[in-house]
Structure 1
Amino acid sequence: MDVIVYIYVGLLAGFLPSALSKNYDCELPSKNCPAKTQEYLEFYGYLDPEKPCIREDIVAALTKFQELNIDFMGLNVTGECDNITVLVMNQPRCGCEDIVKFDMKKMMPQNFIGPQEFRLGNTKWRKKELTWSVLKYPRNPQTTSKMSNSDVDDAMRRALDIWAKVTTLSFRQLTNDRNADITIKFEVRRHTSTGPYYDFDGPGNVLAHAFFPESGIVHFDDDEHFVLNNNEGTELFIVAAHEFGHTLGISHSNIKDALMAPYYRYSKSLQLHTDDIGAVQTLYGPSDKNRPATTSRPTNPPTPRPTPKPTVPHTVPAYCNMQIKASFSINQNTYVFTRENVGYMRTKTFVYKVTRDGLQPTSRKPIEDMFIKTGSRRYPRAHPYRVDAAAYIPHKRYIFLFSGTRAYRYSIRREDYRSEGPFVLDERQGFPKWMDVTEFPERPRAAVAMPYSNYNSYYMLIFGTTMVWDWNFYSERVGAWAYPIDVFGRNMPQRVDGAYLENDKRNVIFFKNHKFYKFEVRRRRVVDTNVMDVKRDFFKGRCA
């Protein structure tokens, strides 16, 4: 699958391609929003251009834009077109989609009703030694007067080398070989004979474009004034290093100092940021090239140790081995759902409470005791047989349970806010409701409330196997976007089992098998120290 990646385009007022012209009639959240706000958000992947747009979609898309560009020029998450947001939108920047989307219609099975799991295709190279070749050198006199073909080769070699130094990858140059893994050309204007066309636009604006693995195509705009080792034009080495990051399968970073951030910046001594290194090592593993050789040292004879006293073996209760199927958190209590055998070929959903002290085994309740309804009608049922995902929305005091694409909603009255259940189904509001499966990229596996910057309101994300999408609980439909989980955040696990927002609103906990991951909301990433053991660090007590 080839996914186009541009770098560095011009201002909001004039950079967008004329091919995108259409009616942009979504209601903007304020008069401060430029007329091209909807077009900008669609072009960079924050809004789905094929869906009808409502005001809440624009707010969610602006929020996502601000989250992915946090701290750049002092940007904050407001969900509004404040002055800083408009200023950032007007900066020269990378022209690729910040949120890389894929063609759902081509990728999803057409023979099934409802969302299916699917693979995104190749997002990394399947080999560690890659070849590269420059097939077409620059002809622009501004460039060639200061740069020879061998200088271009050297810039490409150095740009690839900064990635090779931190990974298991190696790169070998071939001479004018069209069969090389990575092929490089300097082109102008329309340089492909068939569509889709990715035209260059002359001096300024778009400087280069590339494709994700395993395409290997990299083009530079030969109308640009490329230079080496100075800031009197466009530094070719920096542009190439950024492009090669995309060629290796790395999307944009929301760390402003990272090479893979969407905004161009000149540096006299370019080095990879720890975020760049973490991203590429996630795909290809860390380098062992610079690992010091081990040397033998004389060792002292071992000191005799006293014979240890016999210990009583630690018995782990059966509940410690439960598989978490869904979770949500309310009032500093976390509720986890699990399926347990209750007889021959029979399973049933149970709910456990987890506090700061760990799992409370005496809290175990059948789902029908925790989620009820006040009406006397037998159908619809007050709870699902199986819970695939769950979420609590604090400012609305809603609890959502998802089973497939059926949503159950339970409202918590203000006077019952500190209640630990049972929770009553919103039957009068028509729940449970079937959601429109034509809008769903995958079956739900986890759901979580995500805070806006003021922490007074929230939006909801639903996670599938490889995709995450926005679900608008106001319009009760899939919202502005859906995109790969690894684009949503660095080092994010796929096929998660559950998620919940912590009480301090700073982190989201994701469960996968016997591990849980602490995801930093503001920085959109999981770091190594935030991967922990469910038994030891979450259940605690006798499970530790």
Structure 2
Amino acid sequence: MHSFPPLLLLLFWGVVSHGFPATLETQEQDVDLVQKYLEKYYNLKNDGRQVEKQRNSGPVVEKLKQMQEFFGLKVTGKPDAETLKVMKQPRCGVPDVAQFVLTEGNPRWEQTHLTYRIENYTPDLPRAAVDQAIEKAFQLWSNVTPLTFTKVSEGQADIMISFVRGDHRDNSPFDGPGGNLAHAFQPGPGIGGDAHFDEDERWTNNFREYNLYRVAAHELGHSLGLAHSTDIGALMYPSYTFSGDVQLAQDDIDGIQAIYGGSQNPVQPTGPQTPKVCDSKLTFDAITTIRGEVMFFKDRFYMRTNPFYQEVELNFISVFWPQLPKGLQAAYEFADRDEVRFFKGNKYWAVQGQNVLPGYPKDIYSSFGFPRTVKHIDAALSEENTGKTYFFVANKCWRYDEYKRSMDPGYPKMIAHDFPGIGNKVDAVFMKDGFFYFFHGTRQYKFDPKTKRILTLQKANSWFNCRKN
């Protein structure tokens, strides 16, 4: 039986008794999780002291606040549902907040030509697949720096790579399947720079379970001197995402180049940037309602609002729908079938909940009757209770009857004909509470389809509870 600080138990009682029912066994498991998580990743001391019985102060509360701030969660100091959700995600074993002695001095390799050695191989993959994954992971970093990496087959290398399990005598034992997947040490002599992968995981070269290339690319960032990033789009974010492209975000590039300088290429490589929800210049690729919520799409990310939370959820599209591409161009919900349809180029995908329906993607020509001159859809919405879906393409709109499964006669029409004042281009659109919300650039128009009048003009990100826009 574990003995936990009274404050932690009190915090859980407060959370569980206010809308998060759980069994006593589940509560104890969550208490165990929070205690160990804060000890491992946020330097919470476990010296057997009785933590003060206070709701709003004390070591546990402060460490929870620190963790919540790092991950962009609502800072409550309580282990609420969103906090527990993050704690249960697979992640890197390197602390987010380390001991002072481990971060002092910004360690780096003095030489730019480094060696690495794979000491042993996981049986989950062919040796050649492991070699390729590690080589590609190093290449991500060499592409943006003066660093080079050479594989050696014997002797001591700068970076030693191994697959181990449990307690492997580095004072950072692995925890079995899930949870802590791998860890690496900052540059230095001895164990410095080495990367360890938990052999209790199932390593793959696809995007099911734990992709070795994706995990290795992150860990080697630590081997080169990078700490964790608070940017959810960065490769150095502590929690792992296993779908989509493996690439360095601009945040990763800025970090590694601050240590080693830029690439020797005449044109410096750049990476994608993570959207900032309260950036007054924020624009969207697509927007749709989904079962009462509104989801906004930008590049490889979604932003989600929820009537029960003030915070905006920002994450990868692939977290919900691994099969969908990044850079979606249009989306709409057809509530009668509980379907959301996503468009990119001349293809579209239909989803229910988190499942892409069988047989997709399909083309927009055979499904909706578009002529071949239409190469992509700019925006779309399905009008509530009528079965009429509007598609916006350049300066025209098309109207599709969901029940007849055909385009309405007389279309396409100029956007200005059906929606006066909106302009000649629509980036995104959705319907909520009987009103249409049109987006173009950083502007949002609230439109009444009954009177055909614009009611308000606001910033595109006005849905995100930003203080200043």
Task: Report the TM-score, using the length of structure 1 for normalisation.
Answer: 0.41
Structure scoring higher RCO (CA < 8 A, sep ≥ 6) equals 1
Report the structure number with the largest CA radius of gyration.
1
Q: Provide TM-score, normalisation by structure 2.
A: 0.47
